[in-house]
Structure 1
């Protein structure tokens, strides 16, 4: 693992394999770490990092505010995630790359494709997040964190961060900066002294920007319909990865390749072959 400082925030990353560059946006919400490509749900089955590095230079990283990457208390938006991604490419001296997102990483990939299309070759969206239940659950997490802060204060959040390794999604009380609090003592010291009312205003605004619709978030449909980037969409089929969200992306992204495959048929061999063939053509 290596570290780069991008926009004043530390980013933990790893480069695996050789070939054309493939920037991979990790699955998971506020726990989008490199390890999730191997350990989370369907990714245990697909084993992308055991197959794709034989064909591509895979660039994987912890999204800001997750894992060992740093963070900053601000109203985080999709544009901030794009800034981290393009900054990492700049750090590595890469002008243009294929991009691939898993889960919420699909939303970051879409944001990058619409905001910095000149940096993107082809795009793979695997199990994009979205759907009404995804929105409701996401907003509920932020509400639970705000309630905890209101009742206990920010020092209690810092104390909570030392009690377990649970991320924001597993224990919403800890909030979106819980991972940074665990490994950065200076950040934790500053965090505990923040004005509580100002902090609550920042947090309250985040879900309205990041989880703002009942389909897949990350980019406006008016921007998606203007994309000129070859895109492969592989749909999920559960409460957090609604098939309707993937179909919405198929509708919006011109000429997108929608792989209509039942989830039980998604295995390592056929899934990696599909992704490799798409990116290499």
Structure 2
């Protein structure tokens, strides 16, 4: 593993394989680490990192505020995630790459594609997040953290982070910076000294920007319909990855390739072959 300081924030990353560059946006919400490509849900079955590096130079990283990457207390938006991704490509000297998102990583991929289309060759959106239940659950997490801060203060958040390994999604009380609090003492000191009312305002605003619709977030439909990037969409089928969200992206992205395959039929062999063939074509 390597690290680079991007947009003032430490980013943990890894480059594996050979071939055209493929920037991969990890699955998971506020726990989007490199390891999630092997350990989370459907990705245990698809085993992308056992196959795709045979065809592509896979660029993997912990999204900011997750894993061993750093963070910054601010109202994080999709633009901030894009800055990390583009900064990593710049750090590696890569001008243009394929991009692939899993889960919430799809939203980051879409944001990159709409903001920097000239730097994207092809795009794969695997199990994009979205749907009414996804929105409701996401907003509830921020509300639970806000209530914990209101009742206990920021020092209690830091104490909770130190006594547990749970990410924001597993225990919302710890908040979106819980992973950074756990491994960065200087960050934790600055966090405790913050104006708590200012902090609460940041927390109150974040979900309105990141989880602002009942379909897949990340980019405006008016920007998606102007894309000229070949896109493969593989739909999910649960409360966090509503099939309707994937269909919405098919509707918005011109000429997108929607792989209408039942979830039980997604295997490591057929899924990796489908993605590799799409990106190579």
Superposed pair shares fold, TM > 0.5:
yes
TM-score relative to the length of structure 1 = 1.00
1:39 Cα offset (Å): 0.1
C-alpha distance after superposition, 1:44-63 (max 9, x if no partner) = 00000000000000000000
1:267 Cα offset (Å): 0.4
Q: What does 1:218-229 align with in structure 2 at a 5 Å threshold? A: 218-229=218-229
Unaligned runs of 5+ in 1: none
1:165 Cα offset (Å): 0.5
Corresponding residue for residue 29 of structure 1: 29
Residues of 2 paired with 1:117 and 1:220: CA distance? 14
Corresponding residue for residue 245 of structure 2: 245
Residues of 2 paired with 1:268 and 1:7: CA distance? 35
1:38 Cα offset (Å): 0.1
TM-score relative to the length of structure 2 = 1.00
Give the number of equivalent residue pairs.
Answer: 281
1:190 Cα offset (Å): 0.4
SS in 2 for 1:5: strand
C-alpha distance after superposition, 1:167-223 (max 9, x if no partner) = 000000000000000000000000011000000001110000000000000000000
Residues of 2 paired with 1:251 and 1:211: CA distance? 20
Q: What does 1:47-126 align with in structure 2 at a 5 Å threshold? A: 47-126=47-126
1:81 Cα offset (Å): 0.2
Residues of 2 paired with 1:193 and 1:24: CA distance? 35
Corresponding residue for residue 207 of structure 1: 207
Residues of 2 paired with 1:218 and 1:7: CA distance? 20
Deviation above 2 Å: which 4+ runs of structure 1?
A: none
1:71 Cα offset (Å): 0.2
Unaligned runs of 5+ in 2: none
1:6 Cα offset (Å): 0.3
Corresponding residue for residue 128 of structure 1: 128
Residues of 2 paired with 1:34 and 1:91: CA distance? 18
Residues of 2 paired with 1:226 and 1:208: CA distance? 24
1:230 partnered with 2:230: yes
SS in 1 for 2:167: coil
CA-based RMSD of the aligned residues comes to 0.3
SS in 2 for 1:121: strand
Residues of 2 paired with 1:131 and 1:38: CA distance? 25
1:160 Cα offset (Å): 0.3
Corresponding residue for residue 158 of structure 1: 158
Residues of 1 paired with 2:66 and 2:141: CA distance? 16
SS in 2 for 1:101: strand
Residues of 2 paired with 1:48 and 1:193: CA distance? 42
1:85 Cα offset (Å): 0.1
Corresponding residue for residue 11 of structure 1: 11
Corresponding residue for residue 197 of structure 1: 197
Corresponding residue for residue 181 of structure 2: 181
1:239 Cα offset (Å): 0.1
SS in 1 for 2:118: helix
Residues of 1 paired with 2:219 and 2:15: CA distance? 27
1:29 Cα offset (Å): 0.1
